[in-house]
Amino acid sequence: MNSLYRKLAFTNMRNNRQFYVPYLLTGILSTMMFYSMRAMQGNDGLDNVRGSAQLKSILTLGLVVIGIFVCILLFYTNSFIMKRRKKELGVYNILGMEKKHIARVLFWETLTTFVLSVGGGLALGIAFNKLLTMLLYRMTGLSESIPFYISGWGCMQTVELFGLIYLATLFYNFMQVKLANPMELLRSGNAGEREPKTKLFLAVSGTACLAAGYYIAITTVEIMKVLMLFLVAVLLVIAGTYALFTAGSIAFLKLLRSNKNYYYQTKHFTSVSGMIYRMKQNAVGLANICILSTMVLVMISTTVSMYVGVADEIETNYEGDVVVSVYYDGVPDEKTREAVFDEVKSSVRENGRIITGTMGTVSISTAVVREENEIFVLQNEALQLSEMGMAAILTKNDYETLEETTLPELGQDEVVVASSFVYGKDSIIFLGKEYQVAENLELSNADAVYGSLIPGGVMYLVVSDEEVLADIYGKMAANYEQNPEAGGCSVVYEMAVDIDGTPKEKKDCAQNVRERIHGFEDSGAAGFLNVTRYGVGVSSKQEGYEDFLILNGSFFFLGLFLGLMFLMVTVLIIYYKQISEGYEDKERFAIMEKVGMSRKEVKAAIASQIRAVFFLPFGMAAIHLAAAFPMLNRLLAMLNLYNKSLFALCLLATLLVFGVIYFIVFKVTSKTYYRIVGEQF
């Protein structure tokens, strides 16, 4: 008896191959992607590479996201197939098969699908895992050897996850059969359509949600608010998208219909009336396509920007190949700074490298609160994140060196204010002393972008000389002594040197400098006296480049991986939407011709509706992306990418490439539509 059910199951799958082939391919690709990500995430070889903790955390995040979307994707596909097969199951029931017999047929169909999908997916995952791992290593700059291996845990967890998913879909199918009435199943494809109602409240609510989401994305500037409101903006846009596609589109079409001069024209009459019913049936699917397309565009454009912008991020964050920062309890004199420089030179020389450029600055940095023309050092007991800003105090000579500019001569009571905002005042009061502002400058580099993310902005106070700098530090130190809860303060001497050599030689040299400097710090040698608890730090541009490349490269890899998955979901939804419309339009063609429309008019009307419905989600996704640009740009700035032009270029390129892919998908899936419609088109 079981052989009969098996044969029926195989016959059903073969006869419904236009539904089952995409379902099987989706299952195979989903299995391959989940296994591959799990195998890479559990690869013990990653434990021995630089940045392994970050890399594994990102892969774990990708594993969770893939697992969630695999469940949604397979459930969506299965429910679509069951919806299209209701009439077939009704015929079985009418011909004498009991529901338990139909359930056995469904069991064999699901089991066959599970075996083919998981078996094929694991085979592909195992075969291509090394290639994908090599791609990950290439993107992150890692050069370790990659042995071929099969992840036992990966296989087991993949089988468990997909086993549960297919078991759940089987239970869903059983319930569909159990609860269905045979006659209702038979008539499921012939039920008459009613004109959709105008849900004005939902349309207005959707517009309001979308406007609110756009407003948050465009106007939110401060770091904490961006982090807190990003998810809110996303949820508002998603809710607004669903509402506008389901209710707003129909309300708009009915508004066009109420305009008699527009509506009662041959091409408009057919298109508008047809679109009303199309939007009723396809609104949710179109909203899904729009949201998934937006996710693909956002994910790919941001991760590509981060990956391409690694060099830009490094140049922004490092003034030289080796940067030495020493924190003093007072302004270091020339002799102290020379002692530090001598140690750095000796260390570089011992490593066989030559210094090609140097730069040194002395500064004080502190968190502040600004009120009108007075700034106060931030106290912990009065910490106000909504008002906090950052201030750096340095001498005229050091600022000119740092910014490669020339400032006017300054007196003891004069300062130059360079800020990320327009200060525009003639004087400024700091620590109770009033200084005349000789010149107001507006920052235009990365500090300006960073300052725009902080409520109080970023401000440089440029003083005349080190005597004034020492006086300010003395007042700050006294202030901290009176308020121990506020922490401490230091003067930092930062020396950056450029050296010759290959990246590896520069990295080794930086390590040599680090060991030597820390050795002198511990011994209290000349140049390292009066060092505060913040101590000494030595950073390497090459090490920074490797860290940024690992972080951004792994995000880029994850972005491509998840982008491919979201694209697969989008293509699947589009494909099944074309099948649905094909069966529905086949009947419409006949009706439209019977009421007197010519073949040419019918063809033009249907084709225009298909194009409008198909490209509406893409156009809406492009609008979402444009509105999200300011907030995404600020999020990238938090990750040290301040180059807005680079992000805009990557976003535009991603949109163009995705548009080409979207058009190709349209042309390919349209063939299925035309095949179903047949000779009537």
Task: Render 16-80 in DSSP notation, one character per residue.
Answer: THHHHHHHHHHHHHHHHHHHHHHHHHT-GGGGGSTTHHHHHHHHHHHHHHHHHHHHHHHHHHHHH
Hey, how many other C-beta atoms are within 10 angstroms of the C-beta on 386? 10
Which segments of 149-265 does DSSP mark as H helices, in order?
Answer: 152-179, 182-186, 200-219, 223-243, 249-258, 260-263
d(CA 450, CA 59): 29
3-state secondary structure of 193: coil
Instruction: Provide the residue ranges of all domains of the chain, joining segments of one domain with +.
Output: 1-192, 199-319+540-681, 320-539
3-state secondary structure of 235: helix
Contact (Cβ atoms closer than 8 angstroms) between residue 71 and residue 165: yes
What residue type is assigned to position 571 of the chain? V
- Which has the closest alpha carbon to 150: 118, 184, 119, 127? 127
| Highest mean pLDDT (candidates 1-5, 202-206, 521-525, 584-588) | 202-206
**What angle, 0 to 180 degrees and rounded to 10, lies between the N-to-C axes of helices 17-41 and 541-594?**
170
Specify the higher pLDDT residue, 270 or 207: 207
Q: Is residue 681 pLDDT above 50, yes or no?
A: no
- Which has the closest alpha carbon to 494: 352, 344, 350? 344
Average pLDDT of the chain, as a whole number: 78
Q: Is residue 192 pLDDT above 50, yes or no?
A: no
Contact (Cβ atoms closer than 8 angstroms) between residue 571 and residue 665: yes
- Which has the closest alpha carbon to 77: 559, 430, 634, 569? 569
Residue % of the chain over a pLDDT of 90: 8
d(CA 296, CA 298): 6
305-308 long-range Cβ contacts below 8 angstroms, 24+ apart? 305/636, 305/641, 305/646, 305/647, 305/650, 305/651, 306/552, 306/555, 306/556, 306/636, 306/639, 306/641, 307/139, 307/552, 307/553, 307/555, 307/556, 308/646, 308/650
Summarize pLDDT for 590-635 with one digit per residue, the tens: 666 555 556 666 666 666 666 766 778 888 899 999 999 998 988 8
d(CA 456, CA 436): 21
d(CA 23, CA 519): 64
Specify the higher pLDDT residue, 272 or 78: 78
Q: Is residue 213 pLDDT above 90, yes or no?
A: yes
C-alpha to C-alpha distances, 202 to 183, 209, 215, nearest whole angstrom: 34, 10, 20
Task: Render 449-517 in DSSP notation, one character per residue.
Answer: HHHHTSTT-EEEEEESSHHHHHHHHHHHHHHHHH-GGG----EEEEEEEEE-S-HHHHHHHHHHHHHHH
Contact (Cβ atoms closer than 8 angstroms) between residue 453 and residue 226: yes
- Which has the closest alpha carbon to 576: 665, 513, 663? 665
| Backbone torsions φ then ψ of 363, nearest 5 degrees | -150, 165
Assign 9 a pLDDT band (cuts: 50, 70, 90): confident
Least confident of 55-59, 94-98, 541-545, 669-673: 94-98
- How many H helices and E strands in the chain? 21, 10
Position 419 scores a pLDDT of 84
Summarize pLDDT for 624-679 with one digit per residue, the tens: 999 999 989 888 887 778 888 889 999 999 999 998 988 888 778 777 766 766 54
Position 208 scores a pLDDT of 92
Q: Is residue 509 pLDDT above 80, yes or no?
A: yes
d(CA 375, CA 354): 44
Task: Render 530-544 in DSSP notation, one character per residue.
Answer: TEEEEEEEEEEHHHH
Q: Which helix (H) or strand (E) holds 109?
A: helix 99-140
Instruction: Give burial (CB, 10 Å; 0-12/13-18/19+) of 99.
Output: middle
Task: Render 122-180 in DSSP notation, one character per residue.
Answer: HHHHHHHHHHHHHHHHHHHT----------HHHHHHHHHHHHHHHHHHHHHHHHHHHH-
Contact (Cβ atoms closer than 8 angstroms) between residue 355 and residue 499: yes
Cβ neighbours for 344, distance < 8 A, ≥ 6 positions apart: 322, 324, 495, 497, 513, 517
Question: What's the pTM?
Answer: 0.76
- Which has the closest alpha carbon to 305: 57, 562, 633, 622? 633
3-state secondary structure of 398: helix
Q: Is residue 461 pLDDT above 80, yes or no?
A: yes
What residue type is assigned to position 464 of the chain? S
Q: What is the mean pLDDT of residues 438-450?
A: 74
Q: Which helix (H) or strand (E) holds 440?
A: strand 433-442
Residue 335, both tokens:
């002799």
Contact (Cβ atoms closer than 8 angstroms) between residue 88 and residue 73: no
Cβ neighbours for 296, distance < 8 A, ≥ 6 positions apart: 563, 566, 567, 570, 658
Summarize pLDDT for 405-421 with one digit per residue, the tens: 888 888 888 988 888 77
